[in-house]
Amino acid sequence: MHTHPENDPHYAGLAVNEGVETQPTVNPYLQNRAKRRDFTAAEYAEHILKGNITVLSQAVTLIESQKPEHHALAQEVIEKCLPSSGKSVRIGITGVPGAGKSTSIDVFGMHLLKNCGRKLAVLAIDPSSERSKGSILGDKTRMEDLSREPDAFIRPSPSAGSLGGVARKTRETIILCEAAGFDTVFVETVGVGQSETAVHSMVDFFLLIQLAGTGDELQGIKRGIMEMADGIIVNKADGENIDKANLAAAQYRNALHLFPLPLSGWSPKVLTYSGYYNIGIKEIWDMVDEYITFVRANGYFEVRRNAQAKYWMYESINEQLRNHFYQSPEIEKALQIKEKQVLDSELSSFAAAQQMLDLYFQGNFAKTVCNSNIIRTFATEI
């Protein structure tokens, strides 16, 4: 018995051919990828330690996630990776937009990969990304050559949260990258605000990219940033710009002489180069190597890392306390009332702050343990 006339052997109408099999709605490759997210912390760590970049990326996504359940898992993964971390050379790279950071990082990275046999992770801290809802720094499309290299891992800045939160995530990502076998880590940032301090507090060498401008270079430099730099490199020393770059370098050298010798005992060097034309790149990395050898020998390398570990412990405590305070709905409600009272001159700012803190500490809010994992993580890092 045939349900359709077409299937009757005597049917003389149009034949029905076998159709094309329906394609699955989800790409099976992606389905597999999605499944892999259900790793336990131990599995994450195991894959990361084997150098599995896909799992490393997924773990970094966990670190960046806002979901509390991801947060706890991420902390466990970090703790498991900690013993295998700390072995890379961490370099902070800053410069104003247009200074040539992405061009330079691409060239520096290729030099380190091809001529020095290094494995490089490029991370970023971009304070503007929260507003723009997308980060530019550390973007693969800006580092064309490097992004095609299997020995390079490029990750844009985490985009959500306060600068402190973003910086903490980047610092945690460094730990995972090191556990995955990356022996060099770049942390990129824009030289326009507070973010340099955050980057400086997580790197071994701080590199400032400068431009030879119109002769008034020194006016535009924030003294604080220059003081933080272990090396200043003047980019775009090519073509007609060479003389200007040399002049700018001389001015920076003079300016540096006015600063006291840093704790490291290392006098910051000033070099010129061209990222675009690949000139002077080796000299920059010779300088970084020289610095690392110097501070390893005089003990400052450890001193700086220990100070950073301590700094991040306190930063993490501060961040957790702040978040816990502001995320409480009761506090949020009371804050609105206090804010109005302050604006209406019914209450001084200080009295209002005190009342808010009293409310917080006398209420039950402070008793809930927020997440002691983070604090433990950094305390055990040294």
Q: Which residues bind ligand GDP (CB under 6 A)?
A: 95, 97-103, 235-236, 238, 274-276
Please, which residue, 158 or 280, has the CB nearer to ligand GDP? Answer: 280
Contact between 173 and 60 (Cβ < 8 Å): yes
Token duo for residue 244: 């200007």
DSSP bridge pairs for 95: 190
In the complex, minimum distance from the CB of residue 193 to ligand GDP, in angstroms, rounded to a whole number:
15
Nearer to ligand GDP, 90 or 236 (CB): 236
Min separation Cβ 107 and ligand GDP, Å? 8
Q: How far is the CB of 60 from ligand GDP (least distance, A)?
A: 22
> Which of 36, 41, 37 minimizes the C-alpha distance to 75?
41
Please state the closest distance from residue 381 (CB atom) to ligand GDP, in A: 31
Degrees, nearest 5: CA angle 201-202-207: 85
* Angle, vertex CA 36, rays to CA 35 and CA 39, nearest 5: 115
CB of 189 to ligand GDP, least distance (A): 10
What's the chain's length in residues? 382
Q: Which residue has the tokens 């844009």?
A: 156
Q: What is the H or E stretch that residue 189 is in?
A: strand 184-190
Residue of 228, 224, 190, 193 lying closest to 207 (CA atoms) = 228
32 conformational bin, left if phi > 0, alpha if psi -120 to 50, beta if neither: alpha
- Work out how close the CB of 331 gets to ligand GDP at its nearest, in angstroms, rounded to a whole number: 40
184 beta partners: 89, 120
> Which CB, 99 or 187, lies closer to ligand GDP?
99
Choose between 206 and 301: whose C-beta lies nearer to ligand GDP. Answer: 206
Q: Minimal CA–CA distance to 210: which of 201, 219, 197? A: 219
As measured in angstroms, the least distance from the Cβ of 235 to ligand GDP is: 5
Instruction: Locate 76 and state its tokens.
Output: 């466990």
User: Is the Cβ of residue 169 or residue 236 nearer to ligand GDP in the bound state?
Assistant: 236
| DSSP-assigned beta bridge partners for residue 154 | 122
Identity of the residue, 102 or 251, whose beta carbon is nearer to ligand GDP in the bound complex: 102
CB nearer ligand GDP, residue 89 or residue 281: 281
Which DSSP symbol is given to 210?
A: E
Q: Closest CB to ligand GDP among 79 and 188? A: 188
Q: How would DSSP label each residue in 288-342? A: HHHHHHHHHHHTHHHHHHHHHHHHHHHHHHHHHHHHHHHT-HHHHHHHHHHHHHH
Which residue, 165 or 191, has its beta carbon nearer to ligand GDP?
191
Q: In angstroms, what is the minimal distance from the CB of 202 to ligand GDP?
A: 20
Give whichever of 178 and 217 is closer to ligand GDP, judged by the CB atom.
217
Query: CA 293 to CA 297: how far, in whole Å?
Result: 6
Which of 200, 196, 198 lies closest to 91, judged by CA?
200
**Cα(first)–Cα(last) distance of the chain, in Å?**
80
Strands 205-211 and 89-95: parallel
CB of 224 to ligand GDP, least distance (A): 19
Least Å distance, CB 100 to ligand GDP, is 3
